[in-house]
Amino acid sequence: MRRVRKAGDRGFSLMELLVALVILALIVGLVAPQVMGYLGRARGQTADVQIANIKAALNLYLIDNGRYPSGDEGLAVLVKAPAGAPNWRGPYLEDGKMPLDPWGHDYRYEFTADGLPPRVFTLGADNAAGGEGDNADVG
């Protein structure tokens, strides 16, 4: 059975398609900045969680070895036994490897000899000290 075409059955006009594209572009223009803001905050929060895990691993290292890693040893001792550490019971991090920050950089470690816990941090997306937003230091 053949269908009889009516005059209004031919599809969309060019004007209707252009109006639909303009509406889609406006929606994307309004939503995209919000999504990018969420992505930036998510990376910072991920870095906070990873730093907390690294600090917990440092505390386990302290319990086993009676000291924090020196500045020269750095965070590598959390995944590989250093020379002269008979009480090392690692790896202290899951999967036995050091995670990278959410921007693909190594976490930084500053040992302080004044008895305070060492500092673990990342320099953000720009990998330079200071900054705001995605470029802000975390930790």
What residue ranges do the domains of the chain occupy?
Answer: 15-132
Q: What's the pTM?
A: 0.69
- Number of helices (H) and strands (E) in the chain: give both, helices first: 1, 2
Q: Is the pLDDT of residue 115 over 80?
A: no
Q: Are 124 and 131 in contact (CB under 8 A)?
A: yes
Supply φ then ψ for residue 109, to 5 degrees: -135, 130
pLDDT bin (cut points 50, 70, 90) of residue 55 is very high
User: Hey, which residues does 94 pair with through a beta bridge?
Assistant: none
Where does 15-132 sit in CATH, by number?
Answer: 3.30.700.10
Dist CA 56 CA 48 (whole Å): 12
Q: Count the neighbouring beta carbons within 10 Å of the beta carbon of residue 99.
A: 17
Percent of the chain with pLDDT over 70: 87
Mean pLDDT (the chain, rounded): 82
Averaged pLDDT, 53-81: 89
Q: Work out whether the CA dihedral 77, 46, 126, 128 comes out positive or negative.
A: negative
Q: Is the pLDDT of residue 133 over 80?
A: no
Q: Are 69 and 83 in contact (CB under 8 A)?
A: no
